[in-house]
Chain A
Amino acid sequence: MIRRVAILLTLLVVAAACSNDRTTVDVFAASSLTDAFSQLETRFEQANPTVDIRLILGGSDTLRRQIDDGADADVFAPADESLLDGLTVDGGVINARPYATNQVEMIANSGVRTDGRDLFDWTQEGVVVARCEEGVPCGMATDVLLAEIPVRLGVVTFEPNVREVLTKVRLGEADAGFVYRTDRLSAGDDVVDLGITSASASVRLAVAALSDRTEAIAFADFVLSDEAAAVLQDLGFGRP
């Protein structure tokens, strides 16, 4: 029995090792880039069939910490360029290039009645507002927005990344939330725009290759290409 399991495991490992003869490029991208980078991945892989882009999505802060702790990222695309500060590759400073902007907006679940409601008052009993936790890019932009536009909040849940905020508002578990413009657009009719936003509550997205492998640099270049810009614009990103 043990022998059979051992043989099976060996076969699995061998199969896993053989099945992929393409070069893998590990792209660490902010969760707010989920849709954008999935599309960029498909396009890049179609043009470069020998490259396998592997997207590692998560909160920008978490990804940065993983990179600082030694994770082998080939490309890093956080939700704000500030998270590329101080990163080095093989002793050299990396070349961080901005390619898009995004802006935090307040949205509500489409089931929430917005007519005749004070959009700046969310303190009623049973009303929950979701936002990103402090310290992550969308959380910092949300803080900027709230400092500028005094929206009164009651129960607030601090989510680890912007996608969790979006999901909670989409499902109607939270009544309203603060997400990026692109997240609002990706949710379609599930959510409504409350028109509460500010140009200063924005982030500038930048990308950098963290390894000197040709494929890594090629993908970072692709993110800055006109083709990628068109994809990003369709999703609602701004130009830097």
Chain B
Amino acid sequence: MKRRRIGSSGLPPAVFLFAALGLLVLIVPLLGLLIQAPWSNLWNLLSTDQTLTAIRVSLIVSLAAAAGSLIVGVPLAFVLARVEFPGKSILRTLVTVPLVLPPVVTGVALLYGFGNRSIFGRFDLPFSTTGAVLAATMVAMPFLILSVEGALRSVDPRFEQTAASLGARPLYRWWHVGLPMIRPSIVAGTVLAWARALGEFGATITFAGNVPGVTRTLPLEVSTAYTNDPDRAVALSLLMLAVSLIVLISLRDRWVPRR
């Protein structure tokens, strides 16, 4: 089938039209934020005690959630990729549910699983920093699991089998052969999980509340500031946008291979 072509791309004009529309949807909101931001007052708005406290809480919560995801998410990804057992497809679906579940639903579920009135016991987690970490971990870990599991599928298991035939014990060959082969995916998955944890809002405010200095992370600070001080909310939004850009640029080689 022959079509008219634009330039050397070989794409029909309609594709460019819809691509432009897609670009508008993605870029117009960010442009609006950037253009109307209180640039001259930005530093004052960002250097208040409230903001610094929220940054501290956000760093603690997101780094702990990324570390937690790493420690339990990588082993889980290995089990899902390498072990065959009945009900595995159901388990894999369950593991990735928080990816698509509205975060507020995740928060309600957390209340019923780990709340003060949970049928599993009293954990004293709501309204604590640990609770915020748990909420962030639940929404962030699936990103890491997907990244690592995908990499494991494309790795040849014979390297580890060879290590085994040479006498390497299971833990040794997992640590020295299995893990290093997928290191880039583990790093990328952890960074993605960290970024998702940093942006987490719905599950956190539902499960861990909005306690200043304890569970009020940057996104919660943005939402709180928006009712009293919209300029500060915009300034905080710019901060989060800058962090997101840094994360994406640092991952660029992974997701957008250079030519």
Contacts and interface: CB of A to CB of B under 8 A. Distances in A.
Interface of A: 59, 61-62, 65, 126, 128, 130, 133-136, 155-160, 168, 171-174
A199 B228 CA distance: 25
Contacts of A156: 211-212
B117 A158 contact: no
Contacts of A158: 209-212, 216, 224
B93 interface: no
5 contacts: A136-B227, A156-B211, A157-B209, A157-B210, A159-B205
Nearest to B212: A158
Given A158-B211, A159-B209, A134 B127 contact: no
A27 B163 CA distance: 69
Contact of B124 (A59, A126, A135): A126
Contacts of B127: 128, 155, 157, 173-174
Contact of B227 (A59, A128, A173): A59
Interface residues of B, number: 20
Contacts, number: 58
Contacts of B224: 133, 158, 160
Interface string B214-252: 111000000110111000000000000000000000000
Nearest to A59: B227
Contact of A157 (B111, B215, B223, B226): B215
B209 A128 contact: yes
B142 interface: no
B210 A173 contact: no
A128 B228 CA distance: 24
B89 interface: no
Given A157-B127, A160-B227, 6 more contacts: A65-B226, A65-B227, A126-B124, A158-B209, A159-B209, A173-B111
Contacts of B216: 158
B115 interface: yes
Contacts of A136: 227
B32 to A, nearest CB: 12
A187 to B, nearest CB: 15
A172 B226 CA distance: 28
